[in-house]
């Protein structure tokens, strides 16, 4: 073997110490982020798993479709489950249209002046107001001043005002994400501003709007203070199986309020009862959110840009 054959040519693009340091820092950063995700996800699964483990023994079709009995120690959660449906559905029907239209005005029509900047700042600040403050506002504005009394409509209006800033903010972001070229193309062929918004901008931002709706449903279903002051009661027996057993002017039970009552006010209740109620409430929120997420994914897949 000759001397020439033993000599290996040096690599032209070998890894330098600087490159190795960057790769090491990248791996450290990935590890830190993975630990942060684990710190969030693992406790979530532990909590959900514990709730299901402790409460699954009571959950049945009879538990879902019968009223509480025996001082709320026996029976099911039908009146509370139906009341939650009414509160969430009514508040959504109020907050979603108003919130979307308000966002359309702020993003598409409002001029950049001091007044509109104050309005945008107010919307952002309202999203962080504690729920107990909204509860007192609902009590004064709807129950007392408007004369609605403690009712589903008063509680739903309170919940709608509480969650509307989230819908406005998410809708604004979704509208702003639609490329301006879409608008200009419509204007160039003679479409009015409203026709452009209705036919092009809104359909292409529905997936983002649904994000705000998902957050609204999650927060509405779990709130206790606003409905406690404005429309929820500790106990009410209704006709089982009748989806229209409540009227907008009636007081109702709710899962969040029922869970609070069973946990703090009812003595000698079965150990699994509060866990079963919490599991059903969690399943209700997840079911609604999953439906909205699947619909949002379907809409995103239909996009051509």
**Which of the four pLDDT bands, split at 50, 70 and 90, describes residue 303?**
low
**pLDDT tens by residue, 118-154:** 888 888 888 788 888 999 999 999 999 998 999 999 9
- pTM (whole model) above 0.75: yes
Q: Taking CA 289 as the corner, what is the angle to CA 107 and CA 199, rounded to the nearest 5 degrees?
A: 35
Residue pointed to by tokens 């403050």: 133
- pLDDT, averaged across the chain: 86
Q: pLDDT tens-digit profile of 60-69?
A: 899 999 999 8
Instruction: Give residue 275's pLDDT.
Output: 92
**Angle, to 10 degrees, between the axis of helix 206-222 and the axis of helix 255-264?**
30
Assign 1 a pLDDT band (cuts: 50, 70, 90): very low
Q: Which fold has domain 61-301?
A: MetI-like fold (1.10.3720)
Encode pLDDT of 212-265 as tens digits. Answer: 888 788 888 888 889 999 988 989 888 888 889 999 999 999 999 999 889 888
Q: What is the pLDDT of residues 16-72, one digit of tens each?
A: 777 888 888 899 999 999 999 999 999 989 998 999 999 888 988 999 999 998 888
Closest CA to 87 of 156, 160, 151: 156
Higher pLDDT: 203 or 12? It is 203
Q: Sort 270 into a burial class: Cβ within 10 Å, 0-12 / 13-18 / 19+.
A: middle
């Amino acid at each position: 073997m000759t001397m020439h054959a033993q000599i290996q040519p040096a690599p032209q693009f070998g890894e330098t110490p600087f490159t190795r340091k960057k790769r090491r820092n990248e791996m450290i950063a990935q590890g830190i982020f993975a630990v942060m995700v684990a710190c969030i996800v693992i406790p979530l699964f532990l909590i959900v798993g514990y709730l299901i483990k402790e409460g699954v023994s009571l959950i049945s079709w009879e538990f879902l479709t019968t009223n509480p009995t025996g001082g709320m120690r026996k029976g099911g959660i039908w009146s509370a489950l139906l009341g939650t449906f009414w509160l969430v559905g009514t508040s959504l029907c109020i907050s979603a249209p108003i919130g979307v239209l308000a966002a359309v005005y702020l993003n598409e029509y409002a001029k950049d002046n001091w007044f509109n900047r104050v309005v945008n700042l107010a919307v952002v600040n309202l999203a962080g107001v504690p729920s107990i403050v909204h509860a007192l506002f609902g009590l004064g504005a709807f129950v007392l001043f408007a004369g609605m009394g403690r009712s589903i409509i008063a509680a739903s209006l309170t919940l709608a005002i509480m969650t509307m800033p989230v819908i406005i903010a998410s809708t604004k972001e979704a509208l702003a994400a639609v490329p301006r070229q879409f608008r200009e193309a419509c204007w160039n062929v003679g479409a009015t501003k409203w026709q452009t918004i209705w036919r092009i901008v809104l359909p292409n931002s529905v997936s983002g709007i649904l994000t705000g709706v998902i957050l609204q449903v999650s927060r509405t279903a779990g709130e206790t203070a606003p409905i406690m002051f404005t429309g929820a009661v500790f106990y009410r027996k209704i006709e089982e199986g009748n989806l229209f057993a409540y009227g907008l002017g009636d007081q109702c039970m709710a899962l969040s309020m029922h869970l609070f009552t069973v946990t703090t006010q009812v003595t000698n209740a079965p150990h699994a009862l509060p866990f079963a109620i919490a599991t059903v409430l969690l399943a209700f929120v997840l079911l609604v959110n999953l439906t909205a997420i699947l619909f949002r994914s379907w809409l995103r897949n239909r996009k051509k840009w």
